[in-house]
Structure 1
């Protein structure tokens, strides 16, 4: 306890770190405040239909990422997701289109261009999703739309929703520039955490209603949740260290290189993207739920407790893990960077043999990482089968838990870096905290 208090005092004594924490908390408070401001022309007392519909599938995921703003018809209902979609699209384009790759390799100026194109694409994506949300409100929340405002609702709502998403995007960028951690990731995490107290109380009340034994079951659930979080931390921070030697260089009277370092290859290089892709694919059959021939398939696809759903979901996650890792991980570029910096892997020739060796090592560690990621993805379904309420079960795995753990690790890593720069002890005695932000390309340089 004394060590913990000393660490907090050290954190608060650093002016720069204290300023970053205050700015981050202030902007997050503004975001959460905006999530409770209802769209013009909506009666907030008649939104029960939206809350009941946004519990599963893609709508449930969107509502979770927006902290409940989607089901509350807030001005921030679309949240940061249009920006995320635009960013993923631009990331894939920089991999698939050679011209985009050239722009990305231009350094800071190229990255500035890509960021600007991402913002323009965000506006387009938001407008499309905003009109879809208007249709959604007219179908399910038509009783909540005030009659005197219904004639203007289709025009004002897309404008307000687009402005709200751009405001959230601006908040995220300000947190990244002036605050602590990645602003976009923090905003998503705060939206997910906003559901935790209510889900916690629902699970507590459900177990209390079963009698005295329910309290013991609840304690066991919390213990299992802590164990899952600890395992997930190991998965996120797990790396395979490939030894790298650098040749000695004599420049004047000084010697450069000659040191032995390690190339950290992450077990879970794909992050949360395979689970997001898998959820999107599993949601597609639910679009045809109204047809009699596809009704059974849609029911299986929308029920995370179904064993067939779990098997298909796990296979998709494993497949997308390999696919996305192959897209974002370039062994050839890493081998070229090593050769350019006079680095080599002991026993492996520079150039293409090095690229082949790094690729083979990455394939070997991606396989267990993909299986573990698939297990994490289907854990909420198992939790529901064991009697845990749907809201609380979502925190036992899946996208929510992965994002929460990853963002918290990233933020703690930045805090620890600030402490070590000023000669303070780190946050842990056993070693350094590793977040998701450490990339292979940065490690090589």
Structure 2
């Protein structure tokens, strides 16, 4: 060791944080596997007709679905369904758990109940992946994007798509358990980042072809930096509710005064989940109409699906209204799932704590509920503006709508969560080292 106290061995730092490095390497390996799998094509697809379809449907719901799949849909790979079946199944299970008493009881059973709910989510993912893959294959055949039809195409294609969706679900769970960060969020983050260079090159190409002014592109770049800073500021914002402990502590002959603490309530307690949930629910009917509804000689059902895909395209008034309403709904819904004023009020009362000026029990519950509703309203408005603003701007300036909103929000929030988990691991190791220094007999 040098005189400054820094180890001369360059691998000493790696050995000190071997668990963290193992988790990081597992995360990197899982993301590499995911990106490699997104290039494995589904059997029986005509790549020329498929490329022509996406060139004719730029800036539509297909582009947004392709963004969340990391380009897997455009290549029609085995992971073309992406992680959306799992997200949709999670939405259904969480909403049902808030309605059905039996599922609500499972949430309170701890680890055993959580495993049971996860089992239901996996079963729902399988069912949704099967339905979506059948609809996707029917749409591919109707648009002459396949080399064959009938069971010779359906069986291998549906099997490949369902297997890809289930593998992504498993991979996301493994990242959560063995890696760093939330696995599903990391997969979505990797998908968005994979498409970012293409969107940047597309914007530069528009400038070169005269379709966009360079000054406009520079203004949008500065706006992106400002929006990113605003997202970071809002995501870190907290309302600290003061909490006092009425009981005085006595140790020996010394009596200590009451302790003071605070209850941190985040401004956006739901995180990025409302934006992901809302996008997932809107993508399903719109993509179904996009795939199945197109035909040279459409039937009445296909005409209805065509109109549905048209009105639910990004930038359309109905899409903006539904998207904003879903974001607000899921902000309140998910906040109610992760934070219960009644349980917090009961815990404070049992521990002899109280909020200054508020009586324990029912008044504390009503006060927390009032504060939480106001915070959730501000957070819902903030998320709605962030997600809808780029779509409104795109209709005026022709900027690819994928450059803002939901994708930017997801990337910033996932990176912040990733950094916080890294810091938590580092703090754990630091605390462990201090414990060993203070208790050398444990060595």
Do both proteins adopt the same fold according to a TM-score greater than 0.5, normalized to the shorter chain?
A: yes
The whole-number CA distance in structure 1 between the counterparts of 2:305 and 2:172 is 41
**Alignment partners' CA distance in 2, 1:59 and 1:298:** 10
Equivalent in the alignment of 1:203: 203
**Pair 1:166-2:166 in alignment:** yes
C-alpha change, 1:167 and 1:295, in structure 2 (3 Å) is: closer
2:368 corresponds, among 358, 364, 381, to: 358
Q: TM-score, normalised by structure 2?
A: 0.81
Q: Is the 8 A contact 2:246 2:258 kept in 1?
A: yes
The aligned length equals 409
Q: State the 1:171 CA deviation.
A: 1.2
Instruction: Compute the displacement of 1:49 (Å).
Output: 4.1
Where in structure 2 are there 5+ consecutive unaligned residues?
A: 1-9, 432-443
CA distance in 2, matches of 1:302, 1:352: 46
Q: Partners in 1 of 2:351 and 2:61 — Cα distance?
A: 46
1:186-225 paired onto structure 2 within 5 Å: 186-210=186-210, 214-225=213-224
Seen in structure 2, the aligned counterparts of structure 1 residues 300 and 66 have a Cα distance that, compared at 3 Å, is closer
Secondary structure of the residue that 1:135 maps to in structure 2?
helix
Could you report, residue by residue, the CA deviation over 1:116-159 in whole angstroms, capped at 9, with x for unpaired residues? 2211221112111111111121123x24x223x75411122222
Q: What corresponds to 2:244 in structure 1? A: 245
- Is 1:302 paired with 2:313? yes
Deviates more, 1:183-192 or 1:370-379: 370-379
Partners of 2:244 and 2:261 within 8 A in 1: yes
**SS in structure 2 at match of 1:115:** helix
CA deviation digits over 1:245-265, x for unaligned, max 9?
234365885989943222122
Aligned position for 2:128: 125
**Which has the greater radius of gyration?**
2
After TM superposition, the score normalised by the length of structure 1 is 0.81
1:178 Cα offset (Å): 1.4
Matched, 1:44 2:44: no
Deviation string, structure 1 residues 56-94 (Cα, Å, up to 9, x no partner): 565444322110112221111112111111112111222
Q: 1:224-272 CA distances to partner (integer Å, 9 max, x unpaired)?
A: 1111111111222222111122343658859899432221222222333
SS in 1 for 2:244: strand
Contact persistence 1:38–1:44 (CA under 8 A): no
Matched, 1:177 2:185: no
Are 1:11 and 1:419, in contact at CA under 8 Å, matched by a contact in 2? no
Q: In the alignment, is the contact (CA less than 8 A) between 2:71 and 2:195 conserved in 1?
A: yes
Q: Which residue of the partner structure matches residue 104 of structure 1?
A: 107
Distance 1:414 1:39 in 2: 36
Q: Displacement of 1:46 after TM fit?
A: 3.4
Partners of 1:159 and 1:61 in 2: CA distance = 24
Structure-2 change in CA distance of 1:169 and 1:275 (3 Å): closer
Change (3 A) 1:26 1:42: same
Contact 2:274/2:331 (8 A) holds in 1:
yes
> Alignment RMSD, CA only?
3.4
Over residues 292-313 of structure 1, what are the superposed CA-to-partner deviations in whole Å (9 max), with x where a residue is unaligned?
9999997565351x67865665
Q: Which residue number in structure 1 is paired with residue 119 of structure 2?
A: 116
